Structure formats: C-alpha cells, structure tokens
Amino acid sequence: MIALERIRERMAGLVSEGVLAEEEALRESHARAVWTCLTEPGDAVAGAAIDALGAADALDLALEGAGRQASDERWKAGLARWMPRVSTVDDALDRARRSGSRLLTPLEEAWPVGLSDLGAHAPHAVWVRGALGAAAGAPGVALVGARAATAYGEHVATELSAGLTTSGVAIVS
C-alpha cells in the first residue's frame, strides 16, 4: 500500500481540495488514476476487479503480487499486461498536471452517468481539461489512437483536437 502522504503529493493539482482532504476518496481517486495508466479503456478484467473490491483494493492486490498466485488465467493475463506500465505512472501524472488536466471519477457529481452503463467496461476515471460541465449538451467526438503513437499521429491528433475545440466540439478520448 502506498503511503497517504505520497498519494497526496502525486494527486495535488489533479483532484479537488475536498478529495485531497478525505483519505478514502483520495485513495480511491489515486487508484483510479493509476488504473488509467495501467489498462486500456474497456479492460473488463480490471473493471470486474474494481467493481468487486474497489479501485484501491484491486490496485493493492495487483501491485503487491498477491494476485500473481491466482488461478484465474484472465487475472494472470491482466497482470502481464499491466505490470510493465507501472513505471510510467509518475510521468503520466506529472504530464497531466502540467497540461492542466483534472481527474474525474465515478465518485464525483460531475461524472457522466451514461459511462456507468458500460459496466465492467466503463472507464475507471476520465481526464478532463476545461470546464467540467462544458460538454453537457455539446456535440462530441472521441479521438483515439495507440499508446505508442508516431510523431505524425500525435501531430494529426493535435491539429484535429485544436480545430474541433475551437468549433465548440467536446473531445472524449
């Protein structure tokens, strides 16, 4: 289990002051932030573990290695996918902070309720830039790509997102 002060440092600037002040909400939000770094969107194995245990306990199980002895082959395959990404978490959180992103979780009022309809495939959290309510009722588009995007792919995504947001389109990715 990661120490509370370390979590607070990692999450400063990414969540509200209210979340930072409340231990359970902070641990859950931090775990959800980490899960967004470890898993691909819609990862049903991680989603089922989070639904059953909560994000923080599921993350502890994965990181502390207790789950490696599990007999469930899907869990073992999940660990094999997730663990190589653990080293990227701090950098990802730093980039989110520098870009002005904020973490939004299902625990918060502003969470888009339609996402919960996805069940185990629902996002663990979403990263938001701009006003939280700005996307309500606005046209929207999802921009998706590979984690290991090429420079050209990143350029195209940047150009597309800049043009779309200037036109008032909410981007979900």
Q: Are 140 and 170 in contact (CB under 8 A)?
A: yes
13 Cβ contact partners less than 8 Å away, ≥ 6 residues apart: 97
Q: Which residues contact 85 (CB under 8 A, 6 or more apart)?
A: 37, 38
- Per-residue pLDDT of 48-92, as tens digits, reads 999 999 999 999 999 987 556 667 889 989 999 999 999 999 999
**Where in the chain are the domains?**
4-129, 137-173
pLDDT tens per residue, the chain (173 residues)?
A: 789 999 999 999 999 999 999 999 999 999 999 999 999 888 999 999 999 999 999 999 999 875 566 678 899 899 999 999 999 999 999 999 999 999 999 888 888 778 888 887 888 999 988 776 655 566 778 888 777 889 998 899 889 989 988 888 877 76
Q: pTM for this structure?
A: 0.80
What the block records as the tokens of 140 is: 């929207």
Residue 119 CA to chain centroid, in angstroms?
Answer: 16
Place of tokens 């309510």: 133
Largest CA distance in the chain: 51
Q: Return the axis-axis angle of helices 44-53 and 73-82, rounded to nearest 10°.
A: 100
